[in-house]
Amino acid sequence: MAFEFAFTPEQRLLKRSARQFMRSQIEPGLPDDDWSGHGGDSPLELVKRMQHQGWFGIGIPRALGGAGMGEVEYCILMEEISAVDSSLGTIFGAHSGIGLMPIYLFGNDDQRERFVRPIAEGRHLAAFALTEPTAGSDAASIKTKAVRDGDDWLISGTKIWCSNGNFADTVVVFAVTDETLGAHGGVTAFIVSKGTPGFTVGTIEDKMGIRQSNTAELIFDNCRVPKQNVLGKVGEGFIAALTALDGGRVGLAAACLGACKRLLDDCVRRAKDRERYGKPLGKNQSIQWMLADMATDIHLAEYAVYHAATLTNEYYEKIAHGEPVPRALREKVSRAAAAVKIHCSEMTGRAGERAIQIFGGDGLKMKYRIDRSFRDQVITEIYEGTNEVQRLIIARELLQEGA
Amino acid sequence: MPPSGARLRVLVPVTGAFHGKVRLKRNGLVDTEGVERILSRESAQALALAKQLAAEGAELVVVHVDKGGGEEVLREALAHGADQGVLVEGAEKSESDASTRATTIAEVYKQMGPFDAVIGPARSEFAGFTGTLAALAGQLELPCLVGVSRVAVDGVGLRIAYQSLFGDYDLRVPRPSVLLVGDLEPSHPTAWGIHDAHRVKGILRVKADNYTVQKALTKRQRIENVPQESRSLESVDGATLVRRLRSRSLIAEKGGSP
């Protein structure tokens, strides 16, 4: 029997229409110089247009205002958005993959109605706040605390590297609720709305890449959150974080795939158009090899990303419907997500180097945007869990299986 | 025209286009096997115009005369916001010339009507669609306007804006009319629309034979019946054309009014 692995007509239409929309409606609105346009609300006008396309609730059921699709479609959008701009891809990923998804997966009916619906309908933006100054890769070491006060919780602490943090309407915040229990049992997720007293935005980081995506410091000073905003059960926040990050990593891999495909298109065009020694660059075998290596990387990555997305979709559907999740599926998803995250982020790094080589000195000029792709790629090997941590996840699975 | 107070209805004939590399076979024919069929850009423009009436509560019915791959074309049109789709199948067996297509669409118009407007593309992938819709207007005895970029309900009629070589016009036309879209930003389907088009909205499938399509003259007959005429066309460049039009006061002098 044939092994069928192809997009459905619906997915093909989503991909084509997203590509057309991004390239005709969004790309012309991007700043030529991303170096000076940073830290403000500049991308929000473009984000709003994307929200009106129904993309920001892509994996949420129609009954909750979403587009009723799933993880494969989320990855399709990540790919097409990031092919045009990685900053917009980061905004979309931080919102859909890790900001919105844990509220949908672990929220109760009331929370889904109050928080998921306005997000899925494209009226609100979401963010995810886990990392702290002393807890990055070792996320289990977070220090932000939440203390029970009557029917409320008081959250105190500082979160950093929060994409969308300064303009998100809804933030999922992770805090220690029982220091004696550690990460599994001692960390709880809270849904915090913008404007809640005690919640302020601190520094907006000035970065070398994804400069149109705002990365904020969030400060919680006795921020009072009602108990109705506890996401899932008290003490089960870390599981929510890890579950969201699995899907987020697959989405990030799709973003890298999109960025890489765009780089390849640019390089092929350059190899055809640019002449040296009386012939197009592409007539040189050294250039052909670079293009072929990029295309080979992309070909393999595409299958792996959408396979991981299919697994994640199955995993998320079970959680959303309250069905038991087999441990084997959970581990398979974590491993696949880690693998595609490593492969695709490093593939984009290699593609960026080759693109600069093919473009020569022009690759360093802003007008060709190759420099931007190169700078934007660096973070992909770090955020959503560094590639080193992803290798630990895979190795742990391998050694457990062999034990 | 529907009774007053009834929901406005618009028929939108759409066309398909090939998406992907289309190669030539050794025998010189176009090899389209395995090439995806999508909604043509011009049809997306027509839908953008029709959606202006949808914003005023109109129901949009899209019709596609299928030459293969038609369901995806029609679902894409539904994704743009159309309410109902009619897929005319079996048309690939008949001669697909403008008159036959117009007859088929006219039958859909009569059987599924009444409609307040027909809004369609001015071009299709290989040839003009203007002929089809002009023939449709002729068969239905409706006014036909080309180059429409804006449409709104205006009492018992429609208020339209259209562009021509001689300028932009704003006028009132009766309902129903056949409107061919002008230069307009194509509509973009939303994710919500794509979902509903594939999982919620139904498509009405009809066989072309059911519409008793009267075969128009085949291409061969037409060529034989048209008297051979030999005429050399004068080649006129753009500047000469503008000069001639100005000399007849059909367009404005530089910096002046016509």
d(CA B156, CA B1): 9
Q: How many interface pairs between A and B have CB atoms less than 8 angstroms apart?
A: 56
pLDDT grade for B230, boundaries at 50, 70 and 90 = very low
* Among B231, B230, B250, B117, residue whose Cα is nearest residue B180: B117
DSSP for residue A216: E
Let me know how many helices (H) and strands (E) chain A has, helices first.
13, 10
Residue of A nearest to B197 (CA): A10
Whether A236 is in a domain gets the answer: no
Question: Do residue A52 and residue B72 have CB atoms under 8 angstroms apart?
Answer: no
**Which of B76, B188, B191 is nearest residue A58 as measured by Cβ atoms?**
B191
Residue type at position B222: R
The pLDDT confidence band at residue A84, using thresholds 50, 70 and 90, is very high
Enter the DSSP assignment of A367. Answer: G
In the structure encoding, which two tokens stand for residue B135, read together?
A: 């023939």
User: Is A163 within 8 Å of A205 (Cβ atoms)?
Assistant: no
> Taking residues B247-253, what's their average pLDDT?
60
CA-based nearest residue in chain A for residue B44: A17
Chain A residue closest in CA terms to B79? A13
Q: Considering only alpha carbons, which residue of chain B is nearest residue A58? A: B191
Contact A349, A308 (CB under 8 A): no
Answer yes or no: do A331 and A184 share one domain.
Answer: no
Binary contact (B199, A9; C-beta < 8 A): no
Mean pLDDT of the residues in chain B: 79
Per-residue exposure over B111-122, b if at least 16 CB sit within 10 Å of its own CB, e if not: ebbebbbbbbbb
- 8 A C-beta contact, residue B109 and residue B11: yes
Residue at a domain's end among A231, A255, A286: A231
| A90 shares its domain with A139 | no
**Assigned domain for A4 exists:** no
Is residue A346 in some structural domain? yes
Cβ atoms of residues A159 and A218 within 8 Å: yes
- A264 and A355 fall within a common domain: yes
Contact A13 B19 (CB under 8 A): no
Q: Are residues A341 and A393 in the same domain?
A: yes
Q: Looking at residue B92, what is its pLDDT? A: 61
A382 and A290 share one domain = yes
Say whether pLDDT at B219 is over 80. no
Least confident of A37-41, A169-173, B6-10, B219-223: B219-223
Q: Does A134 lie in the same domain as A97?
A: no
Per DSSP, the three-state class of A121 is coil
User: Which residue's structure tokens are 């503008």?
Assistant: B242
- Chain B positions touching A13 (Cβ under 8 A) are 38, 72, 75-76, 79, 189, 194, 197-198
| Nearest residue to A387 via CA among A345, A357, A348 | A345
Catalytic positions of A, written as ranges? 384
A300-356 pLDDT, tens digit each: 999 999 999 999 999 999 999 999 999 999 999 999 999 999 999 999 999 999 999
Least confident of A36-50, A80-94, B29-43, B237-251: B237-251
CA distance A231 to A227: 9
In angstroms, rounded to a whole number, what is the distance separating the alpha carbons of residues A231 and A126? 14
Q: Which domain holds residue A308?
A: 243-402
Task: Point out the domain boundary residue: A171, A202, A231.
Answer: A231
**Among A108, A120, A111, A98, which residue's Cα sits nearest to residue A193?**
A111
Q: Are residues A395 and A247 in the same domain?
A: yes
- Per the CB < 8 Å rule, is B189 touching A62? no
Predicted-complex ipTM score: 0.92
Asked whether residue A39 falls in the same domain as residue A146, the answer is no
Say whether both A278 and A224 belong to one domain.
Answer: no
Residue A119 near residue A47, CB atoms below 8 Å: no
User: Looking at CA atoms only, how far is residue B258 from chain A in angstroms?
Assistant: 36
Which residue's entry shows tokens 């109109």?
B58
Supply the pLDDT for residue B242.
66
pLDDT for the residue numbered A402: 52
Assigned domain for A238 exists:
no
What domain count does chain A have?
3
Residues B72, A25: C-beta atoms closer than 8 Å: no
The pLDDT value recorded for residue B216 is 37
Per-residue model confidence (pLDDT) at position B180: 93
- Contact flag A13-B189 (C-beta cutoff 8 Å): yes
Mean pLDDT within A370-386: 93
Question: How many angstroms separate the CA of residue A9 from the nearest CA in chain B?
Answer: 7
Is the predicted pLDDT of residue B4 greater than 60, yes or no?
no
Is the domain of A28 the same as that of A107? yes
- What pLDDT band is residue A1 in, cutting at 50, 70 and 90? low
pLDDT class of B116 with cuts at 50, 70, 90: very high
Distance between the two ends of chain B, CA-based, in angstroms?
A: 38
User: Distance from A72 to chain B by nearest Cα, in Å?
Assistant: 13
CATH number of the structural domain spanning residue A151: 2.40.110.10
pLDDT tens-digit readout, B131-178: 788 889 999 999 998 889 999 999 889 999 987 777 788 889 999 999
Contact indicator for B65, B89 with CB cutoff of 8 Å: no
The DSSP H or E segment spanning A219 is strand A215-226
Q: Is-contact B9 B116, C-beta < 8 A? A: yes
Q: Has residue A49 been placed in a domain?
A: yes
Strand duo A187-193 + A230-231: pairing: antiparallel
> How far apart (Å, rounded) are the C-alpha atoms in residues B258 and B248?
10
pLDDT for the residue A33 = 76
Take residue A351 and report the two structure tokens written for it.
Answer: 């593609």
Nearest to A62 among B79, B190, B195 (CB): B195
Provide the pLDDT for residue B218. Answer: 37
End residue of a domain, out of A184, A211, A231: A231
Residues in CB range of B44: below 8 A, 6 or more apart: B80, B186, B187, B188
Using pLDDT thresholds of 50, 70 and 90, give the confidence band for residue B125: low
- Whole-angstrom distance, CA of residue B53 vs CA of residue B10: 8
Query: pLDDT band at A74, cuts 50/70/90?
Result: very high
Instruction: List the single best residue of B190, B192, B203 to mutate versus A (max A Cβ within 10 A).
Output: B192
Please, are residues A249 and A385 in contact by the beta-carbon 8 Å criterion? yes
* Contact at CB, A54 and B192, closer than 8 angstroms: yes
Domain membership of residue A1 (yes or no) is no
Using DSSP bridges, classify how beta strands B30-31 and B36-39 pair: parallel, antiparallel or unpaired: unpaired
Distance from CA of B210 to the nearest CA of A (A): 28
Class of domain B9-232 as given by CATH: alpha beta
A179 assigned to some structural domain: yes
**CATH number for the domain harbouring residue A103:** 1.10.540.10
